[in-house]
Amino acid sequence: MFYLIGTDEAGYGPNLGPLAVTATLWRAEEDALCLESLFDVLAPAVVTQYGKKTAGIPIADSKKLHRRGTLEPLEMGIFASLCVLDPELELPLSSELLCDLLCGPAQMRERREIPWHTPETEEMLPRDLSSERAAELGEMFSRTLEERGVSLLGIRSELVFPRRFNVQTEACGSKGVFLSDTTLGLAVHFWEEILRQHPDTSPDGGVPEVRIFCDKHGGRNFYLPALMEHFPDLPFCVVQEGRAVSEYVHYGERAVLRIRFQAKGESILPTALASMVSKYLREVSMDRFNAWWRERIPGLTPTAGYPEDARRFRSEIAEKMEELRLDWGDFWRDR
């Protein structure tokens, strides 16, 4: 039995809005390599490009799929995947319910304390894809996965809003370390879920193999201290540590665990889907952010939150911040 956990983030660089981090969990009965070449295994049902006549399900690096003015390319892959995970999922659903579904109830309280995550900014999703089309894509995706012996087992995300981002980044000492901690926290969640499914060593001596793929975080090459913190009971061997790839392996009695940190990991389908989900969650949150501010400052130009435009936006809302007695800590990320 082989498992793959793909992870990715969106919103690492901006000063405004949340950092979104996602992990996806997949399983294959036979060859672990098929998990790393899922684009080939699942073609032509899964495609890596989007166009008006796209018949398949687009799954790729979110930077390649996202189009200004429409969320449809992201919604096709994301909602097809959600329908695979829950065939009884009722669409459309509210933006808050989507967050609950992907982030879990533990983050509900934090979101409720965010000024712009209020009922007045909620919208129904998918926004640019019909619920009927999403269900059709989900059925096609389910059939294809079953035919190819592959399972999508889970999607889990974390939205980190400015106040927690600032506090925890300061505690970690850098954005890169904080991103590693957040990403590995999601990976550990799925790792523990896999171990619950395989409580004992297989009678034939075989154990599941788990592969975790992470992006390079902060340009670092050495991740063993972070792994020791998040997997304290697992001894790791260093396979390689370098600019292109840093890889580690643990040979355990219950499972083999391989963890790879590499640049441009979206070439692997589980990581590409994680990229899409993270981007979508951040885009939906930023839409709510901009809607909240435009309600208070009519004619205000929306922002994506990246540094140069974020400074423009900050100067334009400063007077209103003071008038409303709002705390910059709820809005502005210091790093």
In this structure, of 4-8, 72-76, 115-119, 183-187, the range with the lowest mean pLDDT score is 115-119
Which residues pair with residue 22 across a beta bridge?
8, 157
Domain 2-284 belongs in CATH node 3.30.420.10: yes
254-277 tens-digit pLDDT: 899 999 999 877 789 999 999 999
Which band of pLDDT confidence, cut at 50, 70 and 90, is reported for residue 35? low
* Share of residues in the chain with pLDDT > 70 (%): 97
Q: Contact, 141 vs 151, CB < 8 A? A: no
Residue whose tokens read 């934090």:
110
pTM: 0.95
| Separation between Cα atoms, residue 284 and residue 11, nearest integer Å | 12
Q: Contact, 319 vs 55, CB < 8 A? A: no
